[in-house]
Amino acid sequence: MFIILIEKVINKIKIKLKIMYWKLKYGKRIQIGKNLCFRKRLDILIEKNGYLKIGDNNFFNNDCSINCLENITIGNDNIFGENVKIYDHNHIFNTNIEELKNKFKTNKITIGNANWICSNVTILKNAQINNRNVIGAGVIINEKIESEEIIKKNNKLLKEKIELKGKK
């Protein structure tokens, strides 16, 4: 029992230190509410024009990442399963390879309150997840999700050709 208590105290100290590190690194570009909790490897990247706001009482399981070039807002009381990835941008892919490396399309992401984002979910630019939803394992979200919905994965593989600019 004593060892479990010590582990909990050490984990709380690790979380506080990581939050202090992010606040020092990103300054006014990050806002973190009360009682943020995470397990191993919550990675946050905020580029120079990005802004990240995380509300109160959010939990991130192992191996989650938030990658912000524009704006990501996360409300209160959300649970994120293992390996959740959040990107408010994607590469511009219908161009030559040199341009591909540093060109991005961005748009904000908003996650409301009391959502359960299950394991291996990817949340992309344009996503707006309202309140009290369950986003099932392996789902990719890049659109508006109304409140109180269960979103499940459709296992159909969809294919589409890339049309390169200037080629016919």
Q: Which domains does the chain carry? A: 31-146 (2.160.10.10)
Please report which confidence band the pLDDT of residue 97 belongs to, taking 50, 70 and 90 as the band edges: low
pLDDT in the model for residue 165: 76
Residue 99 has pLDDT above 70, yes or no: no
Dist CA 104 CA 106 (whole Å): 6
* Segment 35-44 mean pLDDT: 96
Say how far apart CA 64 and CA 43 lie, in whole Å: 6
pTM > 0.85: yes or no: yes
Determine phi and psi for 51, rounding to 5 degrees: -140, 130
Q: How large a percentage of the chain has pLDDT more than 70?
A: 93
Q: How does pLDDT run across 51-86, given as a tens digit for each residue? A: 999 999 999 999 999 999 999 999 999 999 999 999
